[in-house]
Amino acid sequence: MKLLLSVCIVLLSSAAQAYNQQAMMEAYFGVVMIRGYNENGGMAYGSGVIIADHTVVTNCHVLRATKQPWVSRGEDTYPITSVRADVWHDLCVVSSPTLPFKPVVRGNSYALVRGQEISAIGHSNGVPAPITSIGEIQGLYPTPSGNMIRSSAKFLMGASGSGLFDMEGRLVGINTFKTAGHGGSIHFALPVEWLETLEKMPATSEFPVRGKALWEEDEDKKPYYMRAAVPESRQDWPKLEQISQLWTQQETNNADAWFSLGLAEQSLKQLDAAALAFQKAVTLDGQFVEAWFRRGEVAQLLGDNQTVKDVELQLQKIDPLLVSVYQNYLHCEKNCQKQ
Say what the pLDDT of residue 17 is.
55
Same-domain pairing of 316 and 290 = yes
Which of 204, 229, 253 is the last residue in one of the domains?
204
Say what the pLDDT of residue 14 is.
46
Say what the pLDDT of residue 237 is.
98
Same-domain pairing of 235 and 330 = yes
Which of 174, 204, 234 is the last residue in one of the domains?
204
Question: Mutual orientation of helices 321-329 and 2-13 as an angle, nearest 10°?
Answer: 150
CATH of the domain at 143: 2.40.10.10
What kind and span of H or E run contains 11?
helix 2-13
Question: What's the pTM value of the predicted model, to 2 decimals?
Answer: 0.91
How far apart (Å, rounded) are the C-alpha atoms in residues 161 and 124? 11
> Considering the domain boundaries, does residue 320 fall inside one?
yes
CATH of the domain at 274: 1.25.40.10
Same-domain pairing of 52 and 77 = yes
Which of 183, 204, 225 is the last residue in one of the domains?
204
With CA atoms as reference, report the closest residue to 128 among 77, 53, 196, 184: 77
Contacts of 111 (CB under 8 A, 6+ apart): 172
> Considering the domain boundaries, does residue 210 fall inside one?
no
Q: Is the torsion defined by CA of 39, 42, 46, 48 positive or negative? A: positive
> Considering the domain boundaries, does residue 301 fall inside one?
yes
Same-domain pairing of 225 and 92 = no
Cα angle value 14/253/188 (rounded, 5°): 50
Same-domain pairing of 17 and 130 = yes
pLDDT along the chain (339 residues), means of 10: 48 55 96 92 92 98 94 95 97 98 98 96 89 95 96 91 97 95 89 96 95 95 96 96 98 97 98 98 96 98 96 96 94 65
Q: How many independent structural domains does the chain possess?
A: 3
Within a 10 A sphere around the Cβ of 41, how many other Cβ atoms?
Answer: 6
How far apart (Å, rounded) are the C-alpha atoms in residues 170 and 327? 34
Name the amino acid, one letter, at 231: P
Say what the pLDDT of residue 6 is.
52
> Considering the domain boundaries, does residue 157 fall inside one?
yes
> Considering the domain boundaries, does residue 6 fall inside one?
no
- Which residues are paired to 78 by β-bridges? 71
Same-domain pairing of 15 and 136 = yes
Same-domain pairing of 291 and 332 = yes
Same-domain pairing of 49 and 74 = yes
Say what the pLDDT of residue 124 is.
87
Same-domain pairing of 75 and 189 = no
Same-domain pairing of 256 and 327 = yes
> Considering the domain boundaries, does residue 212 fall inside one?
no
> Considering the domain boundaries, does residue 110 fall inside one?
yes
* Residue 88 DSSP class: T
Same-domain pairing of 137 and 99 = no
> Considering the domain boundaries, does residue 1 fall inside one?
no
Give the structural domain span for 308: 217-338
Whether 92 contacts 70, CB under 8 Å: no
Same-domain pairing of 228 and 242 = yes
